[in-house]
Structure 1
Amino acid sequence: MKLASLKAGRDGHLAVVSKDLTRMVVVPDIACTLQQALDNWKDKAPKLQKKYERLNSEGLPAAEAFDVSRCTAPLPRAYQWLDGSAYVNHVELVRKARGAEMPESFWTDPLMYQGGSDQLLGPQDDIPLSNEEWGIDFEAEVVVVTNDVPMGICPNKADKHIVLFGLVNDVSLRNLIPGELGKGFGFMQSKPASSFSPVFVTPDELGDQLQEGMIQSRLFVHRNGDLFGRPDCATDMTFNFPKLVAHAARTRHLAAGTIIGSGTVSNCDHGVGSCCIAERRMLEIIEEGEAKTPFMDFGEQVRIEMFDREGQSIFGAIDQQFVHYAC
């Protein structure tokens, strides 16, 4: 099934969305918000699934047209947002861009940071930032959402705790990152609010495109209408999602509603393009001696989307602009 949150208050109103992303129905009789559904997933999921099946087959009297502009993030605020680095090829390139060597352990032990999750942006929300000199970059990724995950879970059992998939634009301010990491305390100011796809979907919606904890599909990224990248999400993914979930839960329980990101999708085949500007700039330095692709300016637009084998958008598109925010 496909689930969205319509803008309303801090946590939105939960809506079930049709498979073709054309119709929706709000479901306060089942759960008012997605977090409420996740907190009682074993009981709520079957009820939401029945509503989804009716919406797709016979229709529902209360159904209305699905309007992406009404969507906030499926989880407008989350108890936890953890972003990994499953594509080690990308990590290696970006570290080279700031003159940092990559330890061999990165190939066996995932990187992961804890991001801010008190306010997550919707798929068409503007991205407000104060300064273009910060090195504004988009990062296209896949995310999963968990139910309650016990501490110390093994990767071969973690897949049972992945209940939803989605997309994220994990914005980075590249020129602030070196200074922050140099302090030895991780990302903070260099990682503003992230933006999420209109809908999150249950694993069964992905069909045979979901194999071995990875999505066998390309992620399309456009900058100002021009194709920027179309890497395959399974190719060169060093750590699959069950491994990322297990890594996050090694020393703590994870609460229902935890979002875990893949990190920027990246392929070793550079002909497929990139999912962030920093990676393209690093490749330009390697191949041409200097970075030529500029970071984002105010007024520029990014679009992130994934399609099924029939060409239907799976999650809907993240389609938004970077805008100036006057402090």
Structure 2
Amino acid sequence: MRWATYRSPTDSREHAALVQDDELHALPETLLELLASGTDLGHHAERARTIPWEVVTLADTPLLAPIPEPPSVRDFMAFENHVVTSYAALGAEVSPVWYDQPVFYFTNPAAILGPNDEVPLAPGTTQYDYELEVAAVIGAPGADIDPADAEAHIAGYLLLCDWSARDLQAAEMHVQLGPAKGKDTATTLGPFLVTPDELEPHRKGNGFDVSMSTTVNGHAYSNGNWADLYWSFSQMLAYASRGTRLRSGDIIGSGTVGTGCILELSRVHGHEAYPWLREGDEVHLDMAQLGAITARIAPCSKPPIPLS
């Protein structure tokens, strides 16, 4: 199953919709409400097929993020290639802790954007970057989850882009806290939540044999594969839920696939070949089974306000 979220012109409210061929079969509820209901998405899919609240054409309907306001967003660093290359670009060595446990940070659930929304530059940045990622969406809540049971808590997967102001990130992390303002201007999700059964035939390694790619202004930039994960989503969920509770709709990001950002590419090829993002650039991220994100970089909404 593939699920999407849109705002209906009928009632101006957010609705979950099952994607059926070229149509959206909507339900009265939001996707977050469906996940929190405790009822399997298969049951809701049958409702959408047989008694839809509304049917609209997919091509003519602007999509929101599948979960526009998630309870929380955790973003891991689970691809080894990205970790090694990006640390080298920052002049640092990879901590051995990374190989002992998966690591993550919390990002801003109030800054979620849809798959075709413009993305504003972060205030004050001159080094704006994309990060090509995949994310799991929590269905059944749970705490202290065993890795062997973790996949049962995943409602589906979606494409994620973590927009990163590298200069702001580097400055604030000198105090060993964050990232914060380097990351919280925007996170793009979508276009679809794809249920695990759709991906099962592609299972490989610690993930699935699904290619991931990015172009900027039509030029090829990133290429990777979900199967290259060092830490599986089962391990990430187990670690994230240790001593706390994951809730329905929580987003668990994989972190950047190898070569999945300008920071890495410029380390190898230089900034002349891969310049930082600027106003007007168009970034297209694609995962065949999960769909695509197309985002135009927009001006900063407001310049930084002086603190003193």
**Same fold per superposition (TM over 0.5):** yes
Alignment of 1:220 with 2:195, yes or no, is no
Residues in 2 aligned to 1:7 and 1:64: alpha-carbon distance in whole angstroms = 11
Alpha-carbon distance, 1:226 to partner: 1.7
The root-mean-square deviation of aligned C-alpha atoms, in Å, is 2.3
Structure 2: which 5+ runs fail to align? 303-308
Alpha-carbon distance, 1:291 to partner: 6.7
Q: Is contact 1:132–1:297 with CA below 8 Å preserved after alignment?
A: no
Look up the SS of the partner of 2:41 in the other structure.
Answer: helix
1:150-189 pair list within 5 angstroms: 150-189=142-181
Residues in 2 aligned to 1:180 and 1:324: alpha-carbon distance in whole angstroms = 22
Q: Is contact 1:131–1:324 with CA below 8 Å preserved after alignment?
A: no
Partner of 1:201: 194
Q: Which of the numbers 287, 295, 298 marks the counterpart of 1:323?
A: 298
Q: Which of the numbers 64, 72, 83 marks the counterpart of 2:56?
A: 64
Partner of 2:306: none
Partner of 1:304: 285
Q: Which of the numbers 260, 274, 282 marks the counterpart of 2:267?
A: 282
Q: Is contact 2:114–2:190 with CA below 8 Å preserved after alignment?
A: yes
Structure 1: which 5+ runs fail to align? 267-273, 308-313
Look up the SS of the partner of 2:149 in the other structure.
Answer: helix
Residues in 1 aligned to 2:13 and 2:66: alpha-carbon distance in whole angstroms = 9
Look up the SS of the partner of 2:111 in the other structure.
Answer: coil
Residues in 2 aligned to 1:226 and 1:63: alpha-carbon distance in whole angstroms = 36
Q: Is contact 1:68–1:124 with CA below 8 Å preserved after alignment?
A: no
Alpha-carbon distance, 1:304 to partner: 1.0
Alignment of 1:97 with 2:72, yes or no, is no
| Larger strand share, 1 or 2 | 2
Q: Is contact 1:282–1:291 with CA below 8 Å preserved after alignment?
A: no
Residues in 1 aligned to 2:117 and 2:190: alpha-carbon distance in whole angstroms = 11
Partner of 1:7: 7
Partner of 1:241: 233
Between 1:207-216 and 1:239-248, the stretch displaced more is: 207-216
Residues in 1 aligned to 2:150 and 2:12: alpha-carbon distance in whole angstroms = 30
Residues in 2 aligned to 1:199 and 1:280: alpha-carbon distance in whole angstroms = 28
Residues in 2 aligned to 1:10 and 1:239: alpha-carbon distance in whole angstroms = 41
1:115 to 1:133, Cα distance in 2 relative to 1, 3 A:
closer
Partner of 2:41: 45
* Residues 121-165 of structure 1: CA deviation (Å, up to 9, x unaligned): 000000012557431101110000112443222211111111110
Residues in 2 aligned to 1:183 and 1:252: alpha-carbon distance in whole angstroms = 26
Residues in 1 aligned to 2:200 and 2:115: alpha-carbon distance in whole angstroms = 24
What amino acid is aligned across from residue 266 of structure 2 in structure 1?
R
Residues in 2 aligned to 1:107 and 1:250: alpha-carbon distance in whole angstroms = 18
Q: Is contact 1:138–1:277 with CA below 8 Å preserved after alignment?
A: yes
Q: Is contact 1:68–1:198 with CA below 8 Å preserved after alignment?
A: no
* Residues 251-281 of structure 1: CA deviation (Å, up to 9, x unaligned): 2111111110110111xxxxxxx22101101
Identity of aligned residues (%): 28
Residues in 1 aligned to 2:273 and 2:116: alpha-carbon distance in whole angstroms = 28
What amino acid is aligned across from residue 243 of structure 1 in structure 2?
Q
Partner of 1:231: 224
Partner of 2:275: 294
1:62 to 1:91, Cα distance in 2 relative to 1, 3 A:
same
Q: Is contact 2:81–2:257 with CA below 8 Å preserved after alignment?
A: no
1:99 to 1:15, Cα distance in 2 relative to 1, 3 A:
same
Q: Is contact 2:125–2:168 with CA below 8 Å preserved after alignment?
A: no
Look up the SS of the partner of 1:230 in the other structure.
Answer: strand
Partner of 1:271: none
Q: Which of the numbers 116, 121, 125 marks the counterpart of 1:129?
A: 121
Residues in 1 aligned to 2:274 and 2:63: alpha-carbon distance in whole angstroms = 32
Q: What TM-score do you get using the length of structure 1 for normalisation? A: 0.85
Residues in 2 aligned to 1:78 and 1:203: alpha-carbon distance in whole angstroms = 19
Residues in 2 aligned to 1:195 and 1:228: alpha-carbon distance in whole angstroms = 18
Between 1:73-82 and 1:127-136, the stretch displaced more is: 127-136
Q: Is contact 1:145–1:259 with CA below 8 Å preserved after alignment?
A: yes
Q: Is contact 2:205–2:227 with CA below 8 Å preserved after alignment?
A: no
Look up the SS of the partner of 1:278 in the other structure.
Answer: helix
What amino acid is aligned across from residue 197 of structure 1 in structure 2?
G
